[in-house]
A and B are shown apart, each in its own frame.
Chain A
Amino acid sequence: AAGVIQSPRHLIKEKRETATLKCYPIPRHDTVYWYQQGPGQDPQFLISFYEKMQSDKGSIPDRFSAQQFSDYHSELNMSSLELGDSALYFCASRYRRDTFNEKLFFGSGTQLSVL
């Protein structure tokens, strides 16, 4: 079965650079969530989208922005990168109308290292 695809798997950037992370949800899934997991930390919710509209916002810095496109894939744009942005970034998806089986499906994550 198709899973959530994230690209790239690994990304190395310098301080103050920009980065773009991509997420391709499972086909038919209409909702995408982004999480940030620092070293030794639990995943923290950043932002979510439903039907191309932002649906919820967590602890996402102002330097970050995200959007969901017409094909439901999502991109997380990160500018003015800081050392503290080094983390594993997860994308998860779900089909909102699947009310009898509510759960999130996670991608393998993008490991961002800021040097």
Chain B
Amino acid sequence: AQTVTQSQPEMSVQEAETVTLSCTYDTSENNYYLFWYKQPPSRQMILVIRQEAYKQQNATENRFSVNFQKAAKSFSLKISDSQLGDTAMYFCAFMKPYNYGGSQGNLIFGKGTKLSVKP
């Protein structure tokens, strides 16, 4: 079974600085997807970034980028130029691709990291 571990329950960063959130996972699969979701106080689940395991290039979305180390099974999220609106719970998640008769494309979440951006 797949597991996702986020070892930092809480983190804080000053506005405009850079912060990195850690995530490790365990799987025997070779093909899968990894995600970072943001959950602000409104509790809406917002997709931040997505990485395909077969792609060596790290995904980037504006101020958000990942460091994907497949061999180490590590998937960290870097937030540059942190903004007050980045304050939220961040969840790392793993998904096996849909496979007829097998995986149904379900998400497995880590426990989350609560990020506070301070002015």
Point out residues on A near B: beta carbons under 8 Å. 31, 33, 35, 37, 41-45, 48, 50, 55-56, 58, 88, 90, 92, 94, 96, 99, 102-106, 108-109, 111
Report the contact-size class of chain B (Cβ under 8 Å from the partner): 20 to 34
What's the nearest-Cβ distance from chain B to residue A50, in Å?
7
Q: Which of A103, A108, A109 contacts B47 (CB 8 A)?
A: A103
Contact A33 B106 (CB under 8 A): yes
Contact A96 B44 (CB under 8 A): no
* Cβ–Cβ < 8 Å partners of B105 in chain A: 31, 94, 96, 102, 104
Binds A, one of B18-26, B66-74, B78-86, B109-117: B109-117
Of all chain A residues, which has the CB nearest B112? A42
Contact B107 A102 (CB under 8 A): no
* Cβ–Cβ < 8 Å partners of B106 in chain A: 33, 45, 48, 56, 58
Contact A42 B107 (CB under 8 A): no
* Cross-chain pairs A/B with CB under 8 angstroms, 16 sampled: A35-B107, A42-B110, A42-B111, A43-B45, A43-B91, A43-B107, A43-B109, A94-B105, A96-B98, A99-B97, A102-B105, A103-B33, A103-B95, A104-B107, A105-B47, A108-B44
* Cβ–Cβ < 8 Å partners of A96 in chain B: 98, 105
Beyond A37-B43, A43-B107, A105-B47, 15 additional contacts (C-beta under 8 Å) are A31-B105, A33-B106, A42-B110, A44-B109, A55-B104, A56-B106, A88-B43, A96-B105, A102-B98, A102-B105, A104-B95, A106-B45, A106-B46, A108-B44, A111-B43
